[in-house]
Amino acid sequence: MAQDPDLKLDDSGANRQTTRDGYETMTTQQGIPVADDQNHLKAGAPGPMLMDDFHFREKMFHFDHERIPERVVHARGYGARGVFEATDDLSDVTSAGLFQKGKKTPVFTRFSTVAGNKGSPDVARDVRGFAVKFYTDEGNWDLVGNNIPVFFIQDAIKFPDLIHAAKPEPDRGFPQAQTAHDNFWDFASLSPETMHMIMWIMSDRTIPRGFRFMEGFGVHTFRLIDAEGKSTYVKFHWKPKLGMQSVAWNEAVKLNGADPDFHRRDLWNAIEKGDYPQWDLGVQLFDQDFADSFPFDVLDATKLIPEEDVPVRIVGTMTLNENVDNFFAETEQVAFCTQNVVPGIGFSDDPLLQGRNFSYLDTQLKRLGGPNFTRIPVNQPRCPVHTFQQDGHMAMKNPMGRANYEPNSWGTEAGGPREDPDRGYKHYPEEVRGPKTFHRSETFADHYSQARQFYVSQSAPEQKHMADALTFELSKVEHGKIRSRVVSHLLNIDETLAKKVAKGLRLELPEPARPARAPITDLAPSDALSIVKMNKGTFKGRKLGVLMTDGADADTFAALKSAVTSAGGMVEVVAPMVGGVELSDGSMVEGDQKVDGGPSVLYDAVAILASAEGGQMLMNDAPSRDFVADAFAHAKFLAYTDGAMPLLKKAGVAEALDEGCFELDGGVDGFVGTLGKLRHWDREPKVDLDG
Ligand code: HDD
């Protein structure tokens, strides 16, 4: 008898019985009810353990095999389910059904860091993966992107070297989740093609405030193909509805201690609250004529096309609206493959993309243990699947019937499936000629022009952060010659930047590196590349941390809470004791955090509401002083009541109060009205050595 492939483990009536207390009866994997889950079967007391205990053996066997290899890159990640809705019609350029206006397509999205292992902290300075699986009516489309629109290398053959250099050094096994070490900078400085991406990773893009505040990019040039087979080049962009935001570096360092799960907790909580994060999907569309006139090769993944040259057309919105039920089942087992494209979407000849198309399928085999990973629910298409592929480890859905080969003559009912020249995926019939050689295209030879364009497009605080980041990273590099070599490249990007970094390292300025092609130095700056310039002026989805003591003014707290909530933000109470504080009117407010577990790095802005006695008490508490001093140093907007002054004094902030600091006794509007600016960056040069 054919097996029902959907048979569920606990479907059988016998095992659905409950215990005397009304719990479901525990069973083995074989469905046998378990009598004792506390003790091994033994002979006598205390007694040797008996091999008869199949429940113990099965339980231990299964536990021993719980781990699977972590991803070789992007091991630390977090996923959620959602939906993509097309808001524009793209049928003029693609036959892909998901781009018909109004069409809704389920998605699974996984964000990740790249270098760190599965247990590494969320706010490591690193690129973020942004991978989306679209379960379309014509199969799965995986858009496996990053939060940076360019990549380090141009040819996939260098990927293992890049990753080896970035990961912990092989002899000592550290540092974890960091590029601040010799091997990474050695490789980068010997590979000038990395320089554009180096500028991006040294910017605030690699220390995002959360996944909800990041852009995403498909990176490569792909193709859209219409019903007649015409091809249009495309680059994909994700734009967060909440706008972009990053944290300060010193804040990131502290966040990783305060909450190593900062990003995943943020995403999970937002979805649990029903505050669903959304991204618009945009496309840059262009043809061969544009490609030919563009100063760089559109097939070179180390180059982007500025939005000012080809505007981003918004074509849909992704909403993440469901957390996973089980982290391992979905987030860990989801298998993205760049080769998963659907009719209407195609590859270009980008040699990085071509190499990826091999690597992803290959890696899933190792990670998930066999070719049937496509049958794991999170990876299964939501449309019918008919194939003669069969058997293998963990075969869960084999073809039914007698025929398992094509062609066969068993008639349509039992004999299918058959290929379908009308509906089937057709590769773009690009004409290809040329000698078979190992080579890198001459058109890929410019390594500095867009690196410079990125740098000059940044606001002053962002440029400062880049110089600081480079100085920091190179200060962890032990070999002077590697530091010098990096600076020799910076000289080809921007002289001021190079000099700042050299000064920060006390390094003699080297000769500039010899470029393979002279850089173009007058590319127009692009505002779209700057987080600060693109600020949307909203506090929506952000968090105010209010440090409070007994006797804090109830009206001020109520006004603050109501104004921040109306602005779409959240308020968390930080208290000396998590049991809460008693306000001036005798009401109690629960603490969301105890002050030493809720440092100000967890918040986008802070307020201190203290009574006179409360201020005196907090002043002697080191975590409370850090709360204020850090918020100030991280350029956060800060508000306070008069009672908080002793704390502000002791934290060294009272003498330095500036336009980013607000006295609350006169009302909350000035403070809350400013929060959308997110940071008071003007303060920053006054609070650090590098200013
Ligand atoms: Fe990759 C994972 C993104 C270049 C080989 N990559 C992986 C993930 C993302 C990216 C987001 C995690 C997917 C998930 O959440 O499961 N990778 C990129 C981007 C690249 C890129 C945007 C450049 C444009 N990757 C790249 C190259 C290769 C790989 C050139 C190899 C030739 N990447 C892999 C991999 C991974 C992976 C080894 C590890 C785990 C996995 O695939 O599923 O195959």
Between 182-190 and 159-166, two packed helices, what is the crossing angle to 10 degrees?
150
pLDDT in tens, 305-351: 999 999 999 999 999 999 999 999 999 999 999 999 999 999 999 99
**Does residue 542's CB lie within 6 angstroms of at least one atom of ligand 1?**
no
CA of 683 to the centre of ligand 1 (A): 39
Mean pLDDT of the chain: 95
Residues forming a β-bridge with 320: 82
pLDDT on residue 414:
58
Confidence band for 9, pLDDT divided at 50, 70 and 90: very low
pLDDT on residue 84:
99
Ligand 1 closest atom vs CA 364: 43
Tokens of 481: 């010659």
pLDDT in tens, 590-628: 999 999 999 999 999 999 999 999 999 999 999 999 999
**Does residue 338's CB lie within 6 angstroms of at least one atom of ligand 1?**
no
**74 is an active site residue:** yes
Q: Is 356 labelled as part of a ligand binding site?
A: yes
pTM of the entire structure? 0.96
pLDDT on residue 662:
98
**Does residue 156's CB lie within 6 angstroms of at least one atom of ligand 1?**
yes
Closest residue by Cα to residue 325 from 366, 284, 278, 272: 272
Q: Is 679 labelled as part of a ligand binding site?
A: no
pLDDT in tens, 503-542: 999 999 999 999 999 999 999 999 999 999 999 999 999 9
Q: Which amino acid is at 678?
A: L
pLDDT on residue 178:
97
For residue 392, is it left (φ>0), alpha (ψ between -120 and 50) or beta? left
pLDDT on residue 446:
98
Q: Which domains are assigned to the chain?
A: 77-379 (2.40.180.10), 387-424 (no CATH), 444-529 (1.20.1370.20), 543-687 (3.40.50.880)
CA of 293 to the centre of ligand 1 (A): 30
Residue nearest to atom 18 of ligand 1 (CA): 145
Tokens of 133: 């699986």
**Does residue 355's CB lie within 6 angstroms of at least one atom of ligand 1?**
yes
**Does residue 77's CB lie within 6 angstroms of at least one atom of ligand 1?**
yes
pLDDT in tens, 538-576: 999 999 999 999 999 999 999 999 999 999 999 999 999
Please provide residue 285's backbone torsions phi and psi, each rounded to the nearest 5 degrees: -110, 135
Nearest 5°: the CA angle 578, 582, 588 is 75
**Does residue 110's CB lie within 6 angstroms of at least one atom of ligand 1?**
yes
What mean pLDDT do residues 271-287 have?
98
**Does residue 73's CB lie within 6 angstroms of at least one atom of ligand 1?**
yes
Pairing of strands 313-323, 77-86: antiparallel
Q: Where are the beta strands (DSSP E) in 463-619?
A: 543-548, 570-575, 581-582, 588-589, 593-594, 605-609
Helix (H, G, I), strand (E, B) or coil at 421: coil
Closest residue by Cα to residue 96 from 105, 107, 108: 105
Res. 397: pLDDT tops 90: no
Other CB atoms closer than 10 Å to residue 429's CB: what's the count? Answer: 8
Res. 97: pLDDT tops 80: yes
Residue nearest to atom 40 of ligand 1 (CA): 71
Helix (H, G, I), strand (E, B) or coil at 252: helix
Q: Which amino acid is at 598?
A: G
pLDDT in tens, 621-680: 999 999 999 999 999 999 999 999 999 999 999 999 999 999 998 899 999 999 999 999
Please provide residue 13's backbone torsions phi and psi, each rounded to the nearest 5 degrees: -55, -40
CA of 360 to the centre of ligand 1 (A): 7
- What interface predicted TM-score (ipTM) does this complex get? 0.99
**Does residue 301's CB lie within 6 angstroms of at least one atom of ligand 1?**
yes
- CA 332/CA 66 separation, integer angstroms: 12
**39 is an active site residue:** no
pLDDT on residue 347:
98
pLDDT on residue 7:
45
Pocket test for ligand 1, best of 193, 360, 366 (most atoms within 8 A of CB): 360
Catalytic residue among 39, 62, 140, 146: 146
CA of 319 to the centre of ligand 1 (A): 23
- CA 288/CA 297 separation, integer angstroms: 11
Question: Which position has the higher pLDDT, 648 or 15?
Answer: 648
Percent over 70 (pLDDT), the chain? 97
CA of 462 to the centre of ligand 1 (A): 28
Q: Residue 65 contacts by C-beta under 8 Å, 6 or more apart in sequence?
A: none
Nearest 5°: the CA angle 212, 215, 216 is 110
Residues forming a β-bridge with 140: 135
Pocket test for ligand 1, best of 76, 143, 359 (most atoms within 8 A of CB): 359
Q: Residue 54 contacts by C-beta under 8 Å, 6 or more apart in sequence?
A: 28, 32
pLDDT on residue 416:
78
Q: Is 110 labelled as part of a ligand binding site?
A: yes
Residue nearest to atom 19 of ligand 1 (CA): 145
CA of 544 to the centre of ligand 1 (A): 36
CA of 254 to the centre of ligand 1 (A): 28
Residue pair 609/558 in contact (Cβ under 8 Å)? The answer is no
pLDDT on residue 643:
97
Q: Residue 344 contacts by C-beta under 8 Å, 6 or more apart in sequence?
A: 94, 95, 96, 97, 99, 224, 225, 226
Residue pair 174/168 in contact (Cβ under 8 Å)? The answer is yes
- CA 620/CA 249 separation, integer angstroms: 27
pLDDT on residue 16:
55
Place of tokens 């080049």: 233
Confidence band for 3, pLDDT divided at 50, 70 and 90: very low
pLDDT on residue 667:
94
pLDDT on residue 413:
62
**Does residue 150's CB lie within 6 angstroms of at least one atom of ligand 1?**
no
State how far the alpha carbon of 295 is from the alpha carbons of 11, 233, 310, 449, in Å: 63, 16, 14, 10
Closest residue by Cα to residue 474 from 493, 461, 457, 488: 488
Q: Is 76 labelled as part of a ligand binding site?
A: no
Ligand 1 closest atom vs CA 217: 22
- CA 214/CA 130 separation, integer angstroms: 9
Sign, Cα dihedral of 84, 90, 94, 100: positive
DSSP 527: G
